[in-house]
Structure 1
Amino acid sequence: MRIFILGVLSERGPMHGHQIRLLSEEEHLDLWTDITIGGLYGAIKRLAAEGLIEEERTEQVGSYPQRKVWRITEAGAQSLSSLRLSGLSEIVHHPDPFDLILTRLDPDHLDDLPTIIEARVTSLKAMLTEYEAHSQVIARYLTLAESLAMRHRLVRLQAEISWHEQLVDRLPELIKDERTRRGLHD
């Protein structure tokens, strides 16, 4: 979110929060980032408190409420440069709690595991189908970079489905191993 707000102010000049919000909607950021529309205003306040953006002026158009117009500061430009560099070079891949749970299965519910995992695969496939369909609908509005970012998410979803399908194939072996390890009998 910081990269988006600082980047917008750097590239397009001073803007008020509503303009930034409209731009995030126009660029469909919620589809391929963790940016939420509701979080933008809080992020603007935090960036201002940190001295990375500052109020340039207040404006009022017609009967709309007064709006603060923000601009990026020198410290904000330096922070943006650093964020861009680290964002390109750092690999971010968060652990999925699912993996830890898989290593700590409930022995009383081992027989439920195939149904639960199949439901998870079905949900992932539905997410993929929905994402692919939406991507096709908005494709003509996306820049090359946005298209590539969306493709990255699509490929990650496909990989997640593939891994889960491999898990489904190995569930009988996993359940048997868990029962043996815990001294349980079929």
Structure 2
Amino acid sequence: MSSIRLFILSSFDLLGPMHGHRLRIEAENRHVSLWTEISVGAVYGAMARLAEEGYLRQIGEEKDGKRPVKQIFEITEEGRRLLAELRRSGLTEIWYKHDPFDLALVRLDPASAAELPALLQARLKALEERLAEADRINAWAAPYIGVTKRAALKHGQHRLRGEIAYLREVLDDIDAIVAEVAAGKV
């Protein structure tokens, strides 16, 4: 599943032909970084790949004064088919990636065990700050967005709350974890 492909193709499907700069502005205005891993600057390269693969096609150019020529693209029928697949997979596939945290935790060496409580407290603080920021952004955005976008934003908040709850459980067991690592039993 590719979020950036889904965003680009759905934007072309919704808005019609456009150039990469307009798509980038759309990504910024829609605040896609709030609910995706998309880097706004990555839309240009992803657009070029979609065009190379036949999902977008160039239909013209636009020249505005002394600015560089902008290529205008539109979605192809093959692009619409891919978009339908991406929408379905985005709604049905479970996106779960193992967190390197787990490997680092089970591969601690006894010398590192002493700093584990401080590292986990710092991680917890960072997660709580990220959640507070998400809460702030979502509260600000709520009056301006519909139910669907609010649901997407809430998903991120719920994931952060789950991570915070898990880390607090680990911290509840920190003495036993440190003892186990120090004894070389991991």
TM range (shorter): over 0.9
CA displacement, residues 106-136 of structure 1 (integer Å, 9 cap, x when unaligned): 2102111111101110111111111111222
Residue 177 of structure 1, CA deviation: 2.1
2:126 to 123, 142, 148: 123
1:88 to 78, 85, 91: 91
Secondary structure (helix, strand or coil) at the match of 1:15 reads coil
Match of 1:175 in 2: 178
- Within 5 Å, give how 1:26-37 maps onto structure 2: 26-37=29-40
Identity among equivalent pairs (%): 37
- Within 5 Å, give how 1:1-186 maps onto structure 2: 1-182=4-185
Unaligned runs of 5+ in 2: none
- Contact 2:61–2:69 (CA<8 Å) still a contact in 1? yes
CA displacement, residues 68-98 of structure 1 (integer Å, 9 cap, x when unaligned): 1110011111111111111111001111000
Aligned residues: 183
Residue 182 of structure 1, CA deviation: 4.3
Letter in 2 for 1:133: R
Secondary structure (helix, strand or coil) at the match of 2:139 reads helix
**CA distance in 2: counterparts of 1:41 and 1:143, whole angstroms:** 28
Letter in 2 for 1:73: T
Letter in 1 for 2:183: T
| Greater than 6 Å deviation, 4+ residue runs | none
Secondary structure (helix, strand or coil) at the match of 1:166 reads helix
Secondary structure (helix, strand or coil) at the match of 1:62 reads coil
Residue 64 of structure 1, CA deviation: 3.0
**CA distance in 2: counterparts of 1:141 and 1:69, whole angstroms:** 30
Secondary structure (helix, strand or coil) at the match of 1:121 reads helix
**CA distance in 2: counterparts of 1:28 and 1:143, whole angstroms:** 14
Mean CA deviation greater in 75-84 or 139-148: 139-148
Secondary structure (helix, strand or coil) at the match of 1:71 reads strand
TM-score by length of 2: 0.93
